[in-house]
Amino acid sequence: AVQGAGQHSATASDTPVTRRLDLRHAVRGLARDRSPLQVLLTSGELLTGTFDRVGSDFAELAEHLAGDARRPGEVRAVRLVSLSGIAAVRTLLP
């Protein structure tokens, strides 16, 4: 929570561009970058891996160890994750 914002704070404008900038947009960027990630689900489960592709309401996560690159031999499982089930995403440093 933020205190003291009051009347000096501004709300986001509702434009065609800001309407497109949602979680799906951010996840697509992470998939494009092939970034290794930690994904916290709303269930509390923590996954590590790389997003392979992103649909309108899901992301495909190739699960692998945090220190490993996304290579076929390192992928333990591929999981479809509902975008509404994602609580947080954190990129991992190489």
Residue 19 domain flag: no
For 76, the token pair is 């333990």
User: 1-43 pLDDT, tens per residue?
Assistant: 666 776 666 666 667 766 677 888 899 999 999 989 999 999 9
Contacts of 31 (CB under 8 A, 6+ apart): 50, 51, 52, 53, 54, 59
Number of domains forming the structure of the chain: 1
In which domain, by residue range, is 69 found?
Answer: 35-94
Residue 60 pLDDT level (bands cut at 50, 70, 90): very high
The residues, any chain, with a CB within 8 Å of residue 74's CB and separated by 6 or more, are 64, 65, 68
Quote the CA–CA distance of 88 and 70 in Å, as a whole number: 20
Residue 22: what pLDDT?
Answer: 82
What is the pLDDT at residue 5? 73
Alpha-helix runs per DSSP H in the chain: 16-20, 23-33
CATH classification of the domain holding 50? 2.30.30.100
